[in-house]
Amino acid sequence: MMAVVAARELADGEVVFVGIGLPNLACNLARRTHAPNLVLIYESGAVGATPSRLPVSIGDPALVTGSLMVCGMADVFQLFLQNGRIEVGFLGGAQVDRHGNINTTVIGPYARPKVRLPGSGGAAEIAIHAHRILIVSKLSPRAFPERVDFLTSPGQRVAKVITDKGVLERDEASGDLVLAGLYPGIDATEVRAGVGWKLESRARLNQLDPPTTTELHLLREVLDPQRLYLKS
Amino acid sequence: MMAVVAARELADGEVVFVGIGLPNLACNLARRTHAPNLVLIYESGAVGATPSRLPVSIGDPALVTGSLMVCGMADVFQLFLQNGRIEVGFLGGAQVDRHGNINTTVIGPYARPKVRLPGSGGAAEIAIHAHRILIVSKLSPRAFPERVDFLTSPGQRVAKVITDKGVLERDEASGDLVLAGLYPGIDATEVRAGVGWKLESRARLNQLDPPTTTELHLLREVLDPQRLYLKS
Amino acid sequence: MQDAVARYVRDGDVVVIEGFTHLISFAAGHEIIRQHRRDLTLCRLTPDLIYDQMIAAGCAKKLVFSWAGNPGVGSLHAFRRAVEGQTLEIEEYSHFGMVARFSAGAARLPFWTLRDYAGTDLPRANPRIKSVTCPYTGEELATVPALNPDVTIVHAQRADAQGNTQIWGLLGVQKEAAFASQRVIVVVEELVDERVVRSDPNRTLIPATIVSAVVVEPWGAHPSYAQGYYDRDNEFYIGWDTISRESAVLSDYLDEFVYGVRDRAEYMQKQPRLAERLKAGEQRCAGVNYGF
Amino acid sequence: MQDAVARYVRDGDVVVIEGFTHLISFAAGHEIIRQHRRDLTLCRLTPDLIYDQMIAAGCAKKLVFSWAGNPGVGSLHAFRRAVEGQTLEIEEYSHFGMVARFSAGAARLPFWTLRDYAGTDLPRANPRIKSVTCPYTGEELATVPALNPDVTIVHAQRADAQGNTQIWGLLGVQKEAAFASQRVIVVVEELVDERVVRSDPNRTLIPATIVSAVVVEPWGAHPSYAQGYYDRDNEFYIGWDTISRESAVLSDYLDEFVYGVRDRAEYMQKQPRLAERLKAGEQRCAGVNYGF
């Protein structure tokens, strides 16, 4: 369901900066349904990739073979990202707070971390330069604290947070994430239980359509038949 | 003779930033005599070129075909020149002054030029970054004024000025160009007559050997049979 | 070409036709002259004959450049007349300065830092050359401001219909100029299938995502050249010295070869032996394996 | 490889083994472990398994990085143990910050300017992230200091005997890291004749003029990959999670596959089915014409 909702967020022809896992699945699902001209850019330097297998890493050789352009990483960050050429960026994180700020650096204090996470990678600059950020993350009070332990990627450009139970949006007035849509059969209280602050709701909540048979078929039989990323 | 003297200034294995005309002839003469491993870099981006014909421009396609590397101009200026990877740079100019400063910009005041020359091109940064600058220029009081009308390329790194009558060097103590060597049959007064300031001499003047028959053969029959650059 | 210029090049624009000796779009320059564009700010490292023609034709208000000569020949006479007669504004850098301006523009930074200009008169002639202090070492370094053209025109060997563009041989600052620009017109020798581009993605210099229009114009770079397609027309460069020395002769040249033809195809038909004389020989490299 | 590491990698050096997923020189990392180098400052965007191994083997005093994980799998456990146990110094940037540090080093500038870090905690965690004021617009922009390693090791598909090195597929920051470095070791799948390099000069990423040593080491990037030669060994990356979770198991791995072999050839002989499983398929592009 998360991959399906994420896919539906992408408009045809958009330039998307994409990571591995669910975002990659979502982009490829969108390309095979309503957005055949989506341009996928990976921070590894592959532009317009059409991978013949599910890439296991953003540096997978399958992203190179048959792509439209392969450039160095200085070009990726300067000419594409900083230049403002990326419309959508996907991010995930160990923690997402009420402002949409993301932490992928440490749990606990920086100097004496309880858990050392991988760090920013390209996430800081993606959050700053992509026009619209989509976060994909499963709900839990730990993952959605009121305030992140470390602010790796600022939340200003976060458009939506696609969770396993519903969709949050950033409310422009308050700058807070608010509940905007619910998946079939899910109640707002279930979403609130997975969030570490008092989650407000939009006046009118979207009821999101369940995956179509086409979407399910593509995901399960074509895009990820080995269920590498489709665990739920 | 100028091409021969310039060629002899180059040591085997050196990395040379080379322009068109006599410097190019000199480099190719050196490559065929004592310096087969000279690496020629052109500001157009051709590295290790071995042109099959005499290039008419520094962007000649013959510099590309069969070269070791072709890179963009941002790389030429940042990764090679500014990085300090260029050992020798050749420059010429409408005016060279007593400090070795070069003018390739204007004769007369900048705002109301008597003669508008092409401008710096890469000359300003070549003069600043190449470890050793060789100037090739014919003597005349106009071409060697006491002070250039416009300082395009600073003279600090000028090692020698190779003229049609003798060789000047930069004296480290005074910072002035001084007479260092004479061509066969030329008198010091002839050189002084071509210079617009009181030219000092080294205590001991070099008497430069005339071109060998090999050198002359290579220049006239192999490298520039149509006498594009060998006018004198 | 007519449509692309009509649509994307406007009076008063900051226009860049780049290409260092290689891949200079004379075809685009001629079309701009034919469409009587005015008050352009023309930017280019080496104005070359094409800007000399555009200056002579009255398209240019200002020239931004780093080396204004006829390479391997001598002066650009229309340029010299305009500067010595003070009818053309100029803004002058060195090559590195111009490259840095495009690099800043392409990276969407307001300036670029370089070690340059110490001891030269260039910053006095051009107050836009400034300096910055390194926050680590305290050193003073030169800066130039970003250059973000309204439109950049790039000639290339090949592109697909979307504008994914591949270039080999000298690369100049084509990539930086294109990424720095609001609009990009790509002019190619050959339109190829997307599969050709995808078969060798490392050769792609400009992606379709930044391209406004693709124009197919074989021989569109003459008298400049396209590696693998045709040689540089050195005779033309030498001949330009004579043509451009007198305004009247230059004017006759424009009448015959620019205003007097409708497009590049007619330009080539007028000179039937050109193609034969300049057509490139064959020196094809082997491909590499992109398999995994 | 033994000679190159003995000669060019010294205790206390700032060492870079670059390659973004692609072309990571595991062979060089293993040789550095075998030669018991100590107190190294290891720099790399993505430390990957090779730095995890070098950290576990005690080579590293400090790690400079931007993303320290096992790509597509999870954590680098030796790294995590060292950081959580505070036995390893770290200096942390984002990817763009590391790319910018190499770019500055390669251009021999003391710093690089970027639009980044506004609103993040990274500058608080790393005081070397500073800022500069644009001399044109007055904007405040982030800066990072240049990174100039003592030695950079680059794996590549092919080079000639002098070190003119060609790479295709993902390019990472190989060029910038090499140009930034005092010494450069190039490790290649294949040594080719200079004529092969000269037949396609646009593919050359690193020129011989900056190369200290060329080492021929087929399969030297395994479990990373070399486009056109062999695939990434994803099974190994997944398996590393188990191996590295326990110090003792990791230690056994090093004993068997690093200390227990003399060189990469022996490493490959120990795993006879590896080559068969990972050998690249054929997807060769056509060549282009460099004639004129």
Q: Number of structural domains, chain B?
A: 1
ipTM: 0.97
pLDDT of B164 reads 95
Chains near A, with 3+ CB pairs < 8 A? Answer: C, D
Among candidates C174, C172, C198, C195, which has minimal Cα distance to C186?
C174
Highest mean pLDDT of the ranges A92-96, B70-74, D72-76: B70-74
* CB-CB under 8 Å, C202 with A61: no
Q: Select from D106, D207, D208 the Cβ nearest to the Cβ of B78.
A: D106
Asked if A83 and C107 come within 8 Å (Cβ–Cβ), the reply is yes
Rounded to a whole number, what is the distance in Å from the CA of C83 to chain B's nearest CA?
Answer: 7
Query: Nearest-CA distance from A19 to chain D in Å?
Result: 10
SS (H, E, C) chain D: CHHHHHHHCCCCCEEEECCCCECCCHHHHHHHHHCCCCCEEEECCCCHHHHHHHHHCCCEEEEEECCCEECCCEECHHHHHHHHCCCCEEEECCHHHHHHHHHHHHCCCCEEEECCCCCCCHHHHCCCCEEEECCCCCCEEEEEECCCCCEEEEEEEEECCCCCEECCCCCCCHHHHHHHCCEEEEEEEEECCHHHHHHCHHHEEECHHHCCEEEECCCCCCCCEECCCECCCHHHHHHHHHHHHCHHHHHHHHHHHHHCCCCHHHHHHCCCCHHHHHECCCCECCCCECCC
pLDDT of residue B22: 85
What pLDDT, on a 0 to 100 scale, did the predictor assign at position A231?
67
Confidence (pLDDT) at C185: 98
Task: Give tens-digit pLDDT for B134-193.
Answer: 999 999 999 999 999 999 999 999 999 999 999 999 998 999 999 999 999 999 999 999
Q: How many residues does chain A have?
A: 232
Residue B204's CB is within 10 A of a number of other CB atoms, namely 7
Residue of C nearest to B155 (CA): C119
Q: At what angle do helices D48-56 and D247-254 cross, to 10 degrees?
A: 100
- Inside any domain, residue B82: yes
The whole-angstrom separation of Cα C197 and Cα C161 is: 11
Residue A43 contacts D, CB cutoff 8 Å: yes
Give the one of C110, C171, C228 whose C-beta lies nearest to D288's C-beta. C228
- Taking the CA of residue A71 and the nearest CA in chain D, the distance in Å comes to 7
> What pLDDT is stored for residue A227 in this prediction?
85
Amino acid letter, A199: L
Q: Report, as an integer, the average pLDDT of B71-75.
A: 98
Task: Give how far C13 is from chain D: nearest CA, Å.
Answer: 21
Q: How far is B55 from chain D (nearest CA, A)?
A: 12
Check whether residue C170 and residue C133 sit in a common domain. Answer: no
What are the E-state strand segments in B7-84? 15-17, 39-41, 46-47, 69-70
In the block, which residue shows the tokens 């078969």? Answer: C199
Q: Do A122 and D95 touch (CB under 8 A)?
A: yes
Query: Residue B14, Cβ neighbours under 10 Å: how many?
Result: 20
- Claim to verify: residue C262 and residue C165 sit in the same structural domain: yes
Rounded to whole angstroms, the Cα distance separating B179 from B205 reads: 7
Same domain, D165 and D238: yes
Q: Is D121–A128 a contact, with Cβ atoms under 8 angstroms apart?
A: no
From chain C, the residues in CB contact with B122 under 8 A are 67, 94-96
Q: Is residue D62 over pLDDT 70?
A: yes
The two tokens of residue C11 are 């009076």
| Beta carbons of B118 and C69 less than 8 Å apart | yes
User: Which residues of B belong to the active site?
Assistant: 43
Overall average pLDDT of the B89-113 stretch: 95
Nearest by CB to residue C285, choosing from D145, D200, D228, is D200
For residue A112, count CB atoms less than 10 angstroms from its CB and return exposed for 0-12, middle for 13-18, buried for 19 or more: exposed
Which residue among the candidates A43, A125, A169, A215 is catalytic per the annotation?
Answer: A43
Give the residues across from D151 on adjacent strands.
D15, D183
Interface test with D, best of B78, B79, B131 (most D CBs within 10 A): B79
At D55 the pLDDT is 98
Which amino acid, D216? V
**pLDDT tens, position by position, D132-153:** 999 999 999 999 999 999 999 9
List all chains that touch chain D, counting a touch as 3 or more CB pairs closer than 8 Å.
Answer: A, B, C
Which residue in chain C has the smallest CA separation from A83? Answer: C108
CA–CA min distance A39, chain C (Å): 8
Q: What is the CATH number of the domain that holds A188?
A: 3.40.1080.10
Inside any domain, residue B116:
yes
Q: Tell whether A68 lies on the interface with C, counting CB pairs under 8 A.
A: yes
Q: Which domain holds residue C130?
A: 111-145
Is the Cβ pair D168, C288 closer than 8 Å? yes
Q: What single-letter DSSP state applies at residue B212?
A: P
Nearest chain A residue to D119 by CA: give it.
A154
For residue A45, give the chain C residue with the closest CA: C202
Shared domain check, D152 and D124: no
Mark whether C157 and C170 lie in a shared domain: yes
Q: In whole angstroms, what is the distance from residue B70 CA to residue B80 CA?
A: 12
**Domain presence at residue B107:** yes
Mean local confidence (pLDDT), A202-206:
94
Report residue D230's pLDDT band, with 50, 70 and 90 as the boundaries: very high
State whether residue A139 is helix, strand or coil.
Answer: coil
Over residues D33-39, the mean pLDDT reads 98
**Domain for residue D282, yes or no?**
no
pLDDT given at position B231 = 67
Does residue B230 lie in a domain region?
no
Clarify whether residues D249 and D130 are in a common domain.
no
Contact: B82, D210; criterion CB under 8 Å: no
Collect all residues of chain D within an 8 Å Cβ-Cβ radius of residue C136. 110-111, 128, 130, 143, 145
* Min Cα–Cα distance to chain B from D175, Å: 9
In a domain, C288, yes or no: no
> Chain centroid to CA C62: how far?
16
Domain assignment present for A229:
no
Domains held by chain C: number: 2
Contact flag A70-D92 (C-beta cutoff 8 Å) = no
- Do D130 and D259 sit in the same domain of this protein? no
Contact A79 C197 (CB under 8 A): no
Where b means 16+ CB within 10 Å and e means fewer, B45-67 reads bbbbbebeebbbbbbbbbbbbbb
C36: three-class secondary structure by DSSP: coil
The DSSP result for A1-66, as a single string, is -HHHHHHHTPPTT-EEE--SSHHHHHHHHHHHTT-TT-EEE-TTSEES---SS--SSTT-HHHHTT
D237:A56 CB<8 A: yes
Residue B229 domain flag: no
- Which of chain B's residues have a Cβ under 8 Å away from the Cβ of D210? 85
- Both tokens assigned to C156: 């290339």
- Do residues A82 and D114 lie in contact, with contact meaning Cβ atoms separated by under 8 Å? yes
pLDDT in tens, chain C (292 residues): 999 999 999 999 999 999 999 999 999 999 999 999 999 999 999 999 999 999 999 999 999 999 999 998 999 999 999 998 999 999 999 999 999 999 999 999 999 999 999 999 999 999 999 999 999 999 999 999 999 999 999 999 999 999 999 999 999 999 999 999 999 999 999 999 999 999 999 999 999 999 999 999 999 999 999 999 999 999 999 999 999 999 999 999 999 999 999 999 999 999 999 999 999 999 999 999 999 9
What is d(CA D58, CA D87) in angstroms, rounded to the nearest whole number? 10
Based on the domain organization, do C258 and C119 belong to the same domain? no
Interface test with C, best of A17, A68, A85, A88 (most C CBs within 10 A): A68
Asked if D172 and A72 count as a contact pair (C-beta separation under 8 A), the reply is yes
Q: Domain span at residue B89?
A: 2-223
Q: What is the pLDDT of residue D112?
A: 98
**What b/e string do you get for D176-187 counting C-beta neighbours within 10 Å, with b at 16 or more?**
bbbbbbebbbbb
Q: Clarify whether residues D151 and D243 are in a common domain.
A: yes
C157 and C122: one domain?
A: no
Separation of CA A80 from chain center: 19
Identify all chain D residues contacting A125, using CB atoms and an 8 Å cutoff.
Answer: 94-96, 114, 116
Residue A52: pLDDT band (50, 70, 90) is confident
Region at C118 (left for phi over 0; alpha for psi -120 to 50; beta for the rest) = beta
Is the domain of C213 the same as that of C256?
A: yes
- Decide if C286 is inside a domain: no
Confirm whether pTM is higher than 0.95: yes
Residues of C in contact with B97 (CB under 8 A): none
Considering the domain architecture, whether residues C132 and C152 belong to the same structural domain is answered as no
C-beta atoms of A69 and C108 within 8 A: no
Q: Which residue of A has its CA nearest to C205?
A: A69
Closest CA–CA distance from residue D123 to any residue of chain B (Å): 27
Residue B232 falls within a domain, yes or no? no
Q: Best of A77, A101, A104 to disrupt the D interface by mutation (most D CBs within 10 Å)? A: A77
Instruction: Report the residue from A59, A61, A121 with minimal CB separation from D95.
Output: A121
Touching, B vs A (3+ Cβ pairs under 8 A): no
Least confident piece of the model among B13-27, B116-130, D191-205: B13-27
Inter-chain CB proximity C71 and B58 less than 8 Å: yes
Q: How far apart are CA B114 and CA B133, in angstroms?
A: 28
Contact B72 C175 (CB under 8 A): yes
Q: pLDDT category, D214, cuts 50, 70, 90?
A: very high
Chain D interface includes B68 (CB < 8 A): yes
Confidence check: pLDDT of B232 > 70: no
